[in-house]
Amino acid sequence: MDLIFYCRSGYEADLLGEVEHACAKQGLYGYAKLTKNSAELTFTMPQLSAANTPNAYTELNKKLPALEQLVFARQKLIGISELRFETNDRVSEILTLLENHKNEYANLPAFTDVFTEYADTENGKQMAKFCKKFAVPLRNQLRKAGLLSKQAHKKGAYLHLIFSDSTKCTLAISLPHDRSEHHLGIQRLKMPNEAPSRSTLKLEEAIKLFCSPQQEAELFSAGMRAVDLGACPGGWSYQLVQRKVTVEAVDHGEIQAELMATGLVEYYSEDGFLYQPQQGNVDWLVCDMIEQPTRVSELMLHWLVSGLANAAIFNLKLPMNKRFKVVQPILDNLNSALSDKFGHVVIKAKHLYHNRDEVTVFVIVNSQLLSAYNHQIK
């Protein structure tokens, strides 16, 4: 069985290390043929295969690391087959392959949507126009053949066709609650005209990834207070202000005048590593300071363990190589220390599309915020 992951170009080795680590913890093993700057990873697991039963892929997936647990993966797919086209009638060849698979095995799920995809690289993007045009006739013929639901919905399996060029593709599936709903696993956001900097998209993407709309409404609302360490010029503070949260913006640099004019930003020209919140405690601590990741994580841990903050979103800046080996011990330490202190906590981390060489971490330790977060089903 093949697991297929998408990631940022250049991070394939880090993703492989993470997948191997996650599988080893579950007693699984596999191997990959690594292609640098390919923006994807195929991880072959010889000991696993889908049984010949209708729910086989769902049952198989329960044994595998979840996408949510993987920092460097944008998308997670289960490979079905590779197909090299012998004619120009590609749609018919795909239908034949799927029909044969369906007749031979009982495990092929009913598809509720289909995506034609390519690697998120400069070479891969050359396939974008082809994939977009090809998707329409493919979708129509799949529905006529009874292989695709009449209306697309998120409750079932998706069919993914990954094109390396117009002569061949890999067929794969993704399963509900363990995939990204975004094309190529990328959440693209529009830069707000009035935002102080493009860094605002990092926090917006983090909130939208880690929270459902209902969770977001519960966790970020009027009357809440936050501290933004390294705030200048205010990109992260902007996202909090948009959600009516009052912000203590901490930085020696200047904050955008329009942001200050909202009345929701209090500016403090102080060292972010020494700052203390004005009222002794805040709901949220956010931080995008350019510092060593271990030093930042220790600062975040201090705020959370000492009760200065109930929750945090922060970035860990990454080295040029061995990034997984740097990040994993930090996350393990956070999980161990916070679990020992609070019992149940939420800790999530992801290498976001709007990040570069950094990982965003999302943490909740306060019992009331945890209750609100867990009450709202994502």
**317 catalytic residue (yes or no):** yes
Tokens 């990204």 -> residue: 180
| Torsion angles phi and psi, residue 360, rounded to 5 | -100, 130
Beta bridge pairs of residue 22: none
Show the DSSP H helices in 220-281 as ranges: 235-242, 257-260
Q: How far is CA 193 from the centre of its chain?
A: 25
Inter-residue contact 171 to 131 (CB < 8 Å): no
Inter-residue contact 139 to 148 (CB < 8 Å): yes
Q: Determine the Cα–Cα distance for residues 67 and 176; give it in Å rounded to an integer.
A: 11
Instruction: Tell me the chain's radius of gyration from C-alpha atoms.
Output: 23
Segment 319-324 long-range contacts (CB within 8 Å, at least 24 positions apart): 319/357, 320/357, 322/14, 323/11, 323/14, 323/72, 323/357, 323/359, 324/13, 324/14, 324/15, 324/17, 324/18, 324/21, 324/71, 324/72
Nearest to 205 by CA among 352, 7, 8, 362: 352
- Considering 202, 317, 348, 350, which one is annotated as catalytic? 317
Instruction: Return the SS3 of 275.
Output: coil
Nearest to 50 by CA among 175, 177, 142: 175
Inter-residue contact 326 to 351 (CB < 8 Å): no
Instruction: Return the SS3 of 4.
Output: strand
Q: How far is CA 49 from the centre of its chain?
A: 26
Active site residues: 317
